[in-house]
Amino acid sequence: MLQIDLRELALGPVETAGELAKDDPLLAGLEVGLAEAVRVGGRLQATGEERFYWHGTLDTRVAGECRRCLAPVSQAVHADIGALFVRGADADDDPDAFALGEDATLVDVTPAVREELFLAAPRYVLCREDCRGLCPRCGQDLNAGPCGCSPTPDLRWSALAALKDKLRG
C-alpha cells in the first residue's frame, strides 16, 4: 500500500510496500516511458506534531531508444526518496514539504514517488557506452561493421593545418 493510515503511526513507524503500474494515471504526464511497474518500498514515521517523514526507494526500468543507433533499450532506475509530509497550516512554512489537509487521516506517498521518478529517470539512453551509432551518410548501424562511405575529413582540422603552414612559411 502506498497510502498509510496516520492512526497506525501511534504504534510506531509503518512499512510501506507497493507498486504503481507503468500506465498508472498517477504517473501520467511525466514523459518517462516505463518498461515495467514502479516498485516502491519504505517506511513512514511521525517526527513531531503533524509532521511525518517517509524514507523510501523506487525501482523500475525505463524504455527508450538508443540516442545514437535508435535501438530499443531499457535501463534500470533506482532512487532513494526522503519526503516530509506536514498536516495543516504549518505546511506553508516548509516549501519542500508535501502538504496534507487539516483533517487528513492518510498519507499517500505517490506524489513523492512521482517527483523522484521524474528526477531520476535518464533523459536519454544508450544501448551501450561505446555505441558507434548510425553512419550520418548512409544510415548503416556502425555497430554491425563499417559501411562503404569514405571517411569525411574534419574541416576544423584542415583549417588548423592550413594555418600552421602559413605561420611556418
Which residues in this chain contact Zn ion in the complex, by CB under 5 A? 66, 68-69, 127, 131, 135, 137-138, 147, 149
DSSP string of 79-118?
A: EEEEEEEEESGGGGG-TTSEEE-TT--EEE-HHHHHHHHH
144 vs 167 by CB, closer to Zn ion: 144
- Give me the amino acid identity at 77: V
CB of 145 to Zn ion, least distance (A): 11
68 vs 87 by CB, closer to Zn ion: 68
78 vs 137 by CB, closer to Zn ion: 137
CB of 3 to Zn ion, least distance (A): 40
- Tell me if 38 sits within 8 A of 17, measured CB to CB: no
137 vs 164 by CB, closer to Zn ion: 137
Going along the chain, which residue ranges are E strands?
Answer: 3-5, 14-20, 38-48, 51-65, 72-87, 98-100, 106-108
CB of 150 to Zn ion, least distance (A): 9
Beta-bridge partners for 66: 125
CB of 76 to Zn ion, least distance (A): 17
Rg over CA atoms, the chain: 25
Report the SS3 class of residue 143.
helix
CB of 123 to Zn ion, least distance (A): 16
Report the SS3 class of residue 154.
coil
76 vs 149 by CB, closer to Zn ion: 149
